[in-house]
A = this chain, B = another copy of it.
Amino acid sequence: MTVMWQCQGVKPPAAPAGAVRQGSLRELNLALVLGRIAAARRPPSRAALAADTGLTRATVSAVVEDLVAGRLVTEAEPTPRAGAGRPARGLMLAGDGPAGLGLEINVDYLAACVVDLAGQVRHHTVHRADLRPVSPADALGRLAELAGRARVDANAQGLTLAGAALGVPGLVDDAGRVRLAPNLGWRDVPVPELLADHPPLTETVDGVPPLVVDNEANLAALGELHAGAAPGSFLHISGEVGIGAGIVLNGALFRGARGWSGEIGHIPVRPDGPPCRCGGRGCLELYAGQEAILSAAGLAGADLPADRASTRLTQLATAEHPAVLRALAEAGTAIGVTVASVVNLLDLDTVVLGGGYAPLTGWLRPPVLAEIERRVLTAAWSPVTVRPATLGATAAAVGAAGSVVRRIIARPGGWLARL
């Protein structure tokens, strides 16, 4: 049987860096103009784009024509603008063109969502189930079903899915294989092969396989990058059962030499502390992981599902439950020590608390900031912002879908060539 559902991991999609042919020029300008349209707060006119990019109005017109023909851009209706002169026709991202499918497998739920070019979430399904006892093949089967329904819904809305991304709570290699997902109990799961039986969700576009598998913390950070008002560089920490981080540098996710960056949960906080299951000692996860916080708060036996734990902690903290407050202060201090290391190393000016940490930001922020103040050499000149993630619990799925859309915006040539 031929593999119908091609798949890959996180290897950069053949970064060109090669010859700059004649046509590359147009491709670059398509990306440039589309990027400006996407980044603009209100629909810009062709003339404004010309002034903004430095291209001629003639060129912008030609480029925009291509983008409109490719259903990536539409003209906004009568623009309410003052002043004399012919009124500008605003340009905005099309709401009925290509869209991205985002998928997520987590410990206690599956999720699928569809995001259009403009970043709107057009479909969203969450399927709650404890997936630890389920085999990877079965879990992926259920996910494919969810994805199929998402596709039908998207098509009904006039959208065309142009790719999909899947977030998993673990390490993924270049081939899309899940090397290790401890909290899910997966090890060396060949996602591409297991999905080969299922019908493809989309066709390959521009050499990019329709499904990209990535770490959920990475995808959540990407979601934050493109949903929130986050700056070009920040650290996104997701506190779930484990603690993961996505590092966004200069507007791009940094994946590391092998795509395994962001393992912040196993940064040592106290090198001589208690042993961690990773083999090290005194890892952050032992002080600020979900289990650690719950047990410090005296809620160890409650056995709450992951998303409930955070809600419960928020309730108790709001009620000023002393043990919970103490547990959160301790966790915040540990996070702060770690974040101080990261900021000293990378000089980031923003830290986003995501996942289960997001609702707890009010209690975690003070100790985190205190440690940064104490330990970061440059803190005096340049304050570090600590803020909650703007996306909710589904950040990874939305971020996954957003990453697909983002790639289209960054390289529209591929999508247009497909026509």
Q: Which of B232, B269, B278, B378 meets A377, CB within 8 Å?
A: B278
Q: Which of B19, B25, B256, B266 meets A346, CB within 8 Å?
A: B256
A258 to B264 CA separation, bound complex (whole angstroms): 23
**Chain B nearest Cβ from A217, distance in angstroms:** 12
Interface status of A160 (Cβ within 8 A of chain B): no
For A18, the chain B residues whose CB sits under 8 A away are 32, 53-54
Number of copies: 2
Given contacts A271-B269, A344-B264, contact A179 B19 (CB under 8 A): no
- The proximity string for A residues 263-286 relative to B, scoring 1 for CB distances below 8 Å and 0 otherwise, is 110111111100000111101000
- The proximity string for A residues 17-36 relative to B, scoring 1 for CB distances below 8 Å and 0 otherwise, is 11111101100110010000
**Chain B nearest Cβ from A286, distance in angstroms:** 13
**Chain B nearest Cβ from A355, distance in angstroms:** 17
CB-based nearest B residue for A234:
B257
For A382, the chain B residues whose CB sits under 8 A away are 257-258, 260
For A201, the chain B residues whose CB sits under 8 A away are none
Interface status of A88 (Cβ within 8 A of chain B): no
Number of chain A residues whose Cβ lies closer than 8 Å to a Cβ of chain B: 63
Given contacts A247-B345, A257-B349, A279-B375, contact A268 B337 (CB under 8 A): yes
For A375, the chain B residues whose CB sits under 8 A away are 266, 268, 278-281, 283
Question: Which A269-325 residues have C-beta < 8 A from chain B?
Answer: 269-272, 278-281, 283
Question: Which A74-122 residues have C-beta < 8 A from chain B?
Answer: none
Contact between B54 and A346, CB atoms less than 8 A apart: no
Pull 23 A–B residue pairs with CB atoms less than 8 Å apart, ordered by A.
Answer: A18-B32, A18-B54, A19-B29, A19-B53, A20-B25, A20-B28, A20-B32, A21-B55, A179-B381, A231-B257, A232-B257, A257-B349, A261-B347, A262-B347, A263-B347, A263-B377, A266-B375, A268-B341, A270-B270, A270-B271, A270-B272, A280-B374, A341-B341
Q: Apart from A20-B29, A249-B249, A341-B341, list 15 A-B contacts with CB within 8 A.
A: A19-B55, A171-B378, A249-B254, A257-B382, A259-B347, A260-B347, A260-B377, A260-B382, A261-B347, A264-B344, A266-B344, A271-B337, A278-B377, A281-B375, A345-B345
